[in-house]
Amino acid sequence: MARIIAGVSSSHVPAIGAAIDNHRTGEPYWQRVFEGFERSKEWMRNAKPDVCFVVYNDHASAFSVEMIPTFALGTAAEFPIADEGWGPRPVPVVKGHPRLASHIAQSVILDEFDLTLCNKMEVDHGLTVPLNLMFGSPKEWPCPIIPLAVNVVQFPPPTSNRCFNLGKALKKAIESYPEDLRVVVFGTGGMSHQISGQRAGLINSKFDHAFLDNLTKNPKKLTRLSHLELMREAGAEGVEMVMWLIMRGALDEKVDEVYRFYTVPASNTAVGHIILENRIKGAKKPAAKPAAKGKKPAPKMKRAAARQKIQRIRS
């Protein structure tokens, strides 16, 4: 059976994509951001998921303001890169997983979440930037990606609670897929930011840190956040964080936070990132080969040591 091994959340600031595309990642301003994702890429190289399910939002790229679905599932075999005004980003086309996507559609819709099905859809920075942050810039993305576009651009977006419950339905759907696939679920967008109006430039680190703490330990508390609270505390675009709750709802109740990174700002945004692992046996890819005779196998990292490592990373 398929299983969800972990959840990953990260901001999707378009200027991060532009820094990659224009070879500016080594500049001091950007270095600080990219350094924070070095361990994440290492984690991803070890995790080697078979499929990633990416919850993101479209920024009037695939869907114009003429038509805005609340939840749009990408069921296609391929998702071309959208032109957001400067030509499509020079990143590989995103390959889907139509069979798993179709299974998810059947399970989730019959579970009373009315998804829009997209058999043709372009994807914008909301999806491609988190892929770059977690996979770097490979010639091909290393696994199929199933996109779920969530409306956070026109009022009313789905509520925090609705998103968390959709995550639960997604978990049920993925875990009932008969093939042995290891799946990572992404929640993207956020953290605090507002890009226009009187409060443009707003960043609320205190709120963001509390959100990250609760995401790991007490996500139920976050499901009570109204849109008004989210926008008041985290800015108008901070409402993107409802998407992180879909990721969290898809995980088990208790998870291990294995990595967290936060830096301010990148463009107008507080960049936040977290990796949460389910505590299932064999969540990690099995060691490649037994150690050769006479060689000691590398010691496994104990949970306490892992926790210490997280503390070091956070500080």
Q: Which residues bind ligand DHB (CB under 6 A)?
A: 12-15, 59, 193, 195, 237, 267-269
140 neighbors 92 (Cβ within 8 angstroms) = yes
How many whole angstroms separate alpha carbon 282 and alpha carbon 150?
Answer: 31
In whole angstroms, the minimum distance from the beta carbon of 84 to ligand DHB comes to: 10
- Nearer to ligand DHB by Cβ, of 69 and 142: the residue is 69
Q: Is the dihedral of CA 65, 67, 72, 76 positive or negative?
A: negative
Which residue carries 């929640």 as its tokens? 187
The CA–CA distances, whole Å, from 197 to 76, 119, 130, 202, 228 equal 37, 36, 26, 10, 16
189 neighbors 152 (Cβ within 8 angstroms) = yes
79 neighbors 93 (Cβ within 8 angstroms) = yes
- Nearer to ligand DHB by Cβ, of 142 and 265: the residue is 265
How many whole angstroms separate alpha carbon 4 and alpha carbon 17?
Answer: 27
- Nearer to ligand DHB by Cβ, of 107 and 268: the residue is 268
In whole angstroms, the minimum distance from the beta carbon of 276 to ligand DHB comes to: 21
How many whole angstroms separate alpha carbon 162 and alpha carbon 168?
Answer: 10
- Nearer to ligand DHB by Cβ, of 182 and 193: the residue is 193
- Nearer to ligand DHB by Cβ, of 125 and 162: the residue is 125
CB atoms within 10 A of CB 17: 22
**Which residues are annotated as catalytic?**
125, 193
In whole angstroms, the minimum distance from the beta carbon of 99 to ligand DHB comes to: 31
In whole angstroms, the minimum distance from the beta carbon of 124 to ligand DHB comes to: 9
How many whole angstroms separate alpha carbon 249 and alpha carbon 170?
Answer: 8
- Nearer to ligand DHB by Cβ, of 204 and 269: the residue is 269
Beta strands in the chain (DSSP E): 3-10, 51-56, 71-74, 78-79, 94-95, 116-118, 145-150, 182-188, 255-266, 269-278
Q: Residue 238: which of 247, 227, 249 has the closest Cα? A: 227
Measure the N-to-C terminal CA separation of the chain; round to a whole number of Å: 39
In whole angstroms, the minimum distance from the beta carbon of 215 to ligand DHB comes to: 18
- Nearer to ligand DHB by Cβ, of 165 and 194: the residue is 194
In whole angstroms, the minimum distance from the beta carbon of 177 to ligand DHB comes to: 31
User: Which tokens in the block code for residue 214?
Assistant: 């609760």
In whole angstroms, the minimum distance from the beta carbon of 14 to ligand DHB comes to: 5
What's the residue count for the chain? 315
CB atoms within 10 A of CB 82: 21
